């Protein structure tokens, strides 16, 4: 009884304290201060409209208890294209217009720094380019863009072609999670991009094994106790660093740093005579590129396969375009070239529409480094700022009938700042052309050499953290000339294959 009485008193105390805190905060917001801590007086700009939710918790529970697209869209409908909320312990301003996205990411980017949880910076490495601004960031961005420029991509096409062929051959006759198959493909393409064709299978397997552990701990609660996913991930991250250091040492001993991305990072000097990057800086950026190259690209590839399957007439039109390309490669006897990839007009529009519909990067995080006024509203220093790409991509003012999959809309270029699948400004994804090349090559070999069918429902979506069809879109794939025996095993065999593939 005494324990129950103490518990009730404690709950009452917490409720009263929360109410007092909430009332004070609401009073502060009414004066224009809110979470900004007195940034404004009566004549100063006011905070954007919106709800900060419960004390301490904000609206985090609401966000994670429903489809995040519904969460953001409902608030935009209620409050407009600029609104405030409180998520994951941080006060936030959401921006859902092209003009606002340009303001934050391009014209006034110096007022908004990239921001990530400290645990994620430790996991990837604090020297990775997307955690920085200024000269160091520009130096690294030039290096990465140079290694992924048109000349480098021309040379990479045969390697990407080989990786796609290998992925589809391993899938042939089986039911697999599309997302997991595409993750493996994207990892292979990332490895080729970073190391050229110079990495032996033992090293490649070592990097894949450790990267897989790091990835599993990336979005976990940062608990460093032994045995937790985060602790295991940090241990695997140290092994990744060690493996990369060994590869760099071996290259130096041979006197051959290489012309691939790793070689470019190893040999780089700044325009002002800055010293070479340290091995730790190089390793952080290599791990960062692996992260950037895998899940996002794999998610888009998964959606492309679903969208093509959902639209049979479009699929046949793409198949006809790719059949002509296949003829140009001698019926598939020769690998694709850069010129072939640049000739796939309809397929390219399918990719653009898939990027718009799926909007894998739904928003990006920035943090105001000073009090900022935008359209009469205050964005206080220290607040998180989130341009909402998905809301812009699905706004009927910019894309007619936005929930309809229609690649024809990209026959005309979209209005400026309304299509931002790779971000915008100095922190836009430097590997976007490589990602599109990977998509073009995959579609070519998929539609000219294979047939496929989706196993089960494909209408539900899960977030891990990027949106993908449920269970990663289980698909049965078979070669064009094996149609008659494509069913192969029993339905129970298919289910077993699907479970094993998804768990891997």
Q: Per the annotation, where are the binding residues for heme? A: 429
Residues 34/28, Cβ–Cβ less than 8 Å: yes
Cα–Cα distance, 26 to 17 (Å, whole number):
14
Cα→Cα distances 426→134, 138, 379, 423, Å: 10, 8, 21, 9
**Which residue has 């953290």 as its token pair?**
465
62 three-state secondary structure: helix
Dihedral sign of CA atoms 246, 250, 251, 252 in order: positive
Cα–Cα distance, 218 to 294 (Å, whole number):
13
- Hey, how many other C-beta atoms are within 10 angstroms of the C-beta on 89? 11
Q: What is the DSSP letter of 45?
A: P
**Which residue has 């653009």 as its token pair?**
352
Three-state SS sequence of 185-218: HHHHHHHHHHHCCCCCHHHHHHHHHHHHHHHHHH
* CB-based burial, 119-146: b 16+ in 10 Å, e otherwise: bebebbbebbbbbbeeebbebbbebbee
Nearest-10 Cα torsion for 430, 436, 437, 443: 160
Backbone angles phi, psi at 78, to 5 degrees: -80, -40
Closest CA to 214 of 427, 206, 279: 206
Cα–Cα distance, 240 to 263 (Å, whole number):
17
| Residue numbering of the annotated binding site | 429
Cα–Cα distance, 351 to 322 (Å, whole number):
14
Residues 244/214, Cβ–Cβ less than 8 Å: no
Backbone angles phi, psi at 126, to 5 degrees: -65, -15
Distance of CA 237 to the CA centre of its chain: 20
CB under 8 Å to 394, separation ≥6 — which residues?
A: 69, 73, 359, 402, 403
CB under 8 Å to 253, separation ≥6 — which residues?
A: none
CB under 8 Å to 157, separation ≥6 — which residues?
A: 335, 336, 337, 338, 340, 341, 437, 441
Structure token pair of residue 156: 């990479």
**Which residue has 């004390």 as its token pair?**
55
Cα–Cα distance, 166 to 164 (Å, whole number):
5
**What secondary structure does DSSP assign to 315-335, as a single string?**
HHHHHHHHHHHHHHTTTTTS-
């Amino acid at each position: 009884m005494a324990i129950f009485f103490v518990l009730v008193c404690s709950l009452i105390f917490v409720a009263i304290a929360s109410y007092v805190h909430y009332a004070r905060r609401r009073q502060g917001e009414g004066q224009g201060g809110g979470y900004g801590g007195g940034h404004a007086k009566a004549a100063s700009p006011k905070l954007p409209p919106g709800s900060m939710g419960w004390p301490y918790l904000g609206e985090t529970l609401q966000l994670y208890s429903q489809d995040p697209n519904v969460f953001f869209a409902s608030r935009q409908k209620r409050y407009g294209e600029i609104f405030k909320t409180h998520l994951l312990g941080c006060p936030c301003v959401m921006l859902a217009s092209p003009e606002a996205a340009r303001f934050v990411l391009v014209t006034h980017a110096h007022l908004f720094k990239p921001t990530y949880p400290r645990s994620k910076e430790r996991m990837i490495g604090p020297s990775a380019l997307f955690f920085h601004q200024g000269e160091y960031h520009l130096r690294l961005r030039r290096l990465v863009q140079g290694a992924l420029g048109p000349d480098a991509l021309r040379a990479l096409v045969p390697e990407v072609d080989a990786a796609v062929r290998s992925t589809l051959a391993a899938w042939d006759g089986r039911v697999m999670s599309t997302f997991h198959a595409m993750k493996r493909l994207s990892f292979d393409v990332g490895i080729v991009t970073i190391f050229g064709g110079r990495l032996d299978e033992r090293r490649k397997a070592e990097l894949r094994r450790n990267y897989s552990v790091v990835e599993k701990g990336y979005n976990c609660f940062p608990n460093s106790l032994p045995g937790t996913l985060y602790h295991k991930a940090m241990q695997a991250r140290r092994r990744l660093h060690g493996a990369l250091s060994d590869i760099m040492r071996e290259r130096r001993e041979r006197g051959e740093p290489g012309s691939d991305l790793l070689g470019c990072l190893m040999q780089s000097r700044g325009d002002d005579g800055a010293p070479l990057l340290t091995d730790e800086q190089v390793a952080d950026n290599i791990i960062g590129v692996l992260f950037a190259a895998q899940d996002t690209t794999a998610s888009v590839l998964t959606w492309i396969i679903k969208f093509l399957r959902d639209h049979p007439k479009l699929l046949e039109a793409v198949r006809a375009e790719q059949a002509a390309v296949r003829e140009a490669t001698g019926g598939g006897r020769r690998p694709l070239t850069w010129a072939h990839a640049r000739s796939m007009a309809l397929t390219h529009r399918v990719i653009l529409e898939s990027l718009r519909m799926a909007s894998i990067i739904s928003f990006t995080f920035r943090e105001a480094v000073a009090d900022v006024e935008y359209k009469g509203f205050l964005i206080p220093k220290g607040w998180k700022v989130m341009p909402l790409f998905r809301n812009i991509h699905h706004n009927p003012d910019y894309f007619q009938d936005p929930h309809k999959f229609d690649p024809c809309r990209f026959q005309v270029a979209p209005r400026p700042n309304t299509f931002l699948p790779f971000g915008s400004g100095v922190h836009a994804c430097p590997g976007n052309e490589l990602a599109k090349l990977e998509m073009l090559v995959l579609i070519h070999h998929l539609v000219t050499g294979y047939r496929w069918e989706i196993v089960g429902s494909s209408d539900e979506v899960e977030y891990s953290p990027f949106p993908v069809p449920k269970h990663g879109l289980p698909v049965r794939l078979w070669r064009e000339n094996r149609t008659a025996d494509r069913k192969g095993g029993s339905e129970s065999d298919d289910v077993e294959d699907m479970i094993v593939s998804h768990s891997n």
